[in-house]
Structures are given as structure tokens and as C-alpha cells.
A = this chain, B = another copy of it.
Amino acid sequence: MAAVTRDTCAALDAADALAPLREQFDLPPGLIYLDGNSLGVLPCATAGRVQDVIRREWGQDLIQSWNKAGWIDAPQRVGDKIARLIGAAPGEVIATDSTSVNLYKVLSVALASVQAADTDARRRVIVSERDNFPTDLYIAESLARQHGFTLRLVETGEIAAQLTGTAGDELAVLLLTHVHYRTGRMHPMAELTAAAHAAGALVVWDLAHSAGAVPVDLKGCDADFAIGCGYKYLNGGPGAPAFLWVHPRHLAQAVWQPLSGWMGHAAPFEFTPGYRPAAGVKAFLCGTPSPIALAALDCGLDTVLAAEALGGMASVRAKSLAMTELFIALVAQRCAGHGLSVQTPADQALRGSQVSLHREEGAYAIVQALIARGVVGDYRAPGILRFGFTPLTLRFVDVWDAVEQLLQVLESGEWREARFHQRAAVT
């Protein structure tokens, strides 16, 4: 790539069809926010919408709002919007609970499904990546322990070998996060799903760093189950409801998932003592939904769905790749000799919407020094400076300015100051 200037970046912004989408957000002035992969920014619509839910729907209409404001159907209504982003059909997705709780539900059902089919009990292994996001591993560990399965954690390069031969014969469920939280590496979903199916196993995809960030085609990939997060690229707000999807072939009969709360009952308002699961994905609901949290998530989804008129996730993806490509090029061009290496794959097909840099020394402090300068990324051990690129809110000049600030932090050595080395409770 020829040497890039800030003017080059400004020209890219001027030509960017997605640029108007930035106006949907209430962004802190001057801040370059490269952490939308941790917590998405605030849409302009959210505060007013939540006020209306609180003041009118709750405050004035009170319990009537379960019917009148459609609170009762919100998990499905919001789920239908998510479906449009992940290659699922209406009625297949619900927005509810947390990602961890939703994984517990779908992985339980996946294991039960394998156990029912595998009468000679040969398939008793769940395979995942050793450095998958820990909560997924903790939930899988819990279920493996409960149901007599083994959780086998392997390195990324060892996954393929788990899908063939003896290992493939033992494989019950392949549990992967589509885009890796730390490195930004993206798995080939269609290929791995097909290989796991060929081995006779089921696949659960965690879309925490994919939904709203990269095109996802669950049905096209013939996946089995998926879960994901509402507060990252979907801009649903801190602790937003998560989501889950189940392929219809696993819903041909009503499913009894272990968190069989009343909202997943076939007739919750009959108040009968025996559980009878609802038809379809509704059986994966558990307790009473939060209309306030679902309204905020709905506003976040609208910001992503606004891209549909501008080419949809394909356009978002094109801009995301242009941005990560630009960032990688600028770091190489301007920060050479400062000990930074790129952890995210150079192959665009294997890259999510983030770039992770590695530095042997001072990575945590460099991130803190950047934050002090108004460039927000985050740190992940060991030695990783993580930068998320959300095409809905970021400009190409922001990428330029971020690298400029990074360069200044490195050249000034200011990151060596003690204040940048203090660890917070949440990192």
C-alpha cells in the first residue's frame, strides 16, 4: 500500500456510503472509541425510548402494558430483528437472559440430543478452544461434569484434527466462538460446521463478537445452535439481554431445556403445576422478561438494521475490513521499530472486526496512556492491545488519529509513568 496520509483517510470518509449512520449515536465529543467490541456506544434513540417505557408504559399503564405495550412478546419481537443479522428466520431467535445462561440452555439440549441418539455412549466429548472466552468454557465445564462428558480444550490449530478419525467418533459437540475475543481471529463457520456434522457431532456457535460485526449465515452454514451478546456490536447497552438461536430441526418436537421457567411454558397463564414446554424457540425462555432492557436493545438493533438500506452487513463488512486493513497498514508504516506485532490474521477471511496488537513490554500501560489521550481500546493478557472497529460509528480519520496517538505514546515514553500501571477491578 502506498504511504497513507490523513487526507487519504478524509477522502475515504467523504466517499463512505455508511458515514451517515454515525449520526444515530450520542458520541462523547473528541473521543475515539475503539471498544465497541466490549460495550457498544449509546444510540440517540435509547434514552427517550427507555424514558417512555418507564414513565408511560410502566408508570402510567402499569400491568396493562404486558398486553397493551406488547411486553410479553418483546423477547421474540427483538429476536426477530437479531435474526435478520445472523441468517436466521423470524420466530427462530429470542432475546433473553445472559449469554452464559443461554449457552447453558442450548448446550444442555445439544448434549441431551447426542445422548439420545448415541445409544452406545461413544460420543462423550465437547471440544472447544483453550482460550475461548472463559464463560463459555466454565458453562461447558459445568455441563460436562453434570452429564458425564469430557470437555477437551485444544489450540486453534488442533481443531480440525478433532473432527476426524477416532477423535471425531468421540465428538458430541463442537463449541466455538466465531470471532475470538482476544485475537479477532474468525473461524470458517460453514467449513467447521460441515466437518463436525460429517463426524456426526453438533455445533454451537457463540456470536458475541460476530452479530452486527460480520455477516453471519447460520442457516446457510447449517449450524445447530447459536448464542450471542446484546451489548457489544448490537449497541443494546451494558448488560443488555443476550440472544439464542436454535435450528428448526432441533425444534420439531417441543424441547425441555433445563431452565424450564414459566415463560417457556406452553400456557404460562394457565398456572398449571406440571411443565409443558412451548412449541419452538419460546421454550428457551425462562423467567419474566425485562421490557426496559429489551427496549434499549431494540434501539441498538435499529442502528445496525439501518445499514440494510445501504447494502446491509455486506457493506458493514467491507468498511470494517477497509478500516482494519488501514489500521494494520498505518501501524506498520508509522510505528515500525516500537515492538508491536499484529495478532489478528492478515487473511481477511479469518479476521473479525478488531485488530489486536502485541507488545512484550508495557501493553497494559500503553492502553491506559491512550485512554488518557481519548483513544479507548482495551488490554487483554498477555500483552495484547485490543482495538475494535465498529463501522457504524467510526471514521477513517479516527483510524489515522488513533495511530497518531499510539505513535506519540510510544515515542514520548509517557506510558512508563506510574499512573498508567495501576490495575482497575475490571480490565
Those of A243-259 within 8 Å (CB) of chain B = 256, 258-259
User: With a CB–CB cut-off of 8 A, which chain B residues contact A293?
Assistant: 239, 290, 292-293
Which of these, B39, B134, B261, contacts A62 with CB under 8 Å? B39
Nearest residue, chain B, Cβ from A141: B275
A65 interface residue (CB < 8 Å to B): yes
Asked if residues A137 and B275 are in contact (CB atoms below 8 Å), the reply is yes
With contacts A98-B261, A100-B286, A101-B259 known, is A42 near B26, CB below 8 A?
A: no
Which of these, B51, B98, B262, contacts A287 with CB under 8 Å? B98
Asked if residues B54 and A46 are in contact (CB atoms below 8 Å), the reply is yes
User: With a CB–CB cut-off of 8 A, which chain B residues contact A378?
Assistant: 63
Q: How far is the CA of A271 from the CA of B138 in the complex (A)?
A: 11
Q: How far is the CA of A424 from the CA of B269 in the complex (A)?
A: 10
Asked if residues B26 and A71 are in contact (CB atoms below 8 Å), the reply is no
Q: How far is the CB of A394 from chain B (nearest CB, A)?
A: 14
Those of A224-242 within 8 Å (CB) of chain B = 231, 237-240, 242
The count of residues in chain A whose C-beta lies closer than 8 Å to any C-beta of chain B is: 88
Asked if residues A288 and B98 are in contact (CB atoms below 8 Å), the reply is yes
User: With a CB–CB cut-off of 8 A, which chain B residues contact A240?
Assistant: 290
Nearest residue, chain B, Cβ from A130: B273
Which of these, B51, B64, B138, B268, contacts A261 with CB under 8 Å? B138
A149 interface residue (CB < 8 Å to B): no
- The contact string, 1 if C-beta is below 8 Å from chain B, for chain A 291-332, is 111001000000000000000000000000000000000000
> What are 12 A-B contacts with C-beta separation under 8 Å?
A26-B55, A33-B62, A41-B62, A71-B239, A73-B425, A98-B288, A100-B262, A104-B259, A139-B261, A153-B273, A290-B293, A292-B296
4 smallest CB-CB distances across A and B, nearest first, come from A98-B287, A239-B290, A100-B261, A135-B262
Question: Which A residues are closer than 8 A to B by beta carbons?
Answer: 26, 28, 31, 33, 35, 38-39, 41-42, 46-47, 50-51, 54-55, 58-60, 62-67, 71-73, 97-101, 104, 130-135, 137-139, 141-143, 146, 153, 182, 231, 237-240, 242, 256, 258-263, 265, 268-275, 286-293, 296, 371, 376, 378, 380-381, 424-427
If A97-B101, A269-B425 are given as contacts, then 13 extra A-B residue pairs at C-beta distance below 8 Å, sorted by A number, are: A42-B55, A67-B425, A97-B287, A100-B259, A101-B287, A131-B271, A134-B271, A134-B272, A135-B261, A137-B273, A137-B275, A146-B258, A293-B293
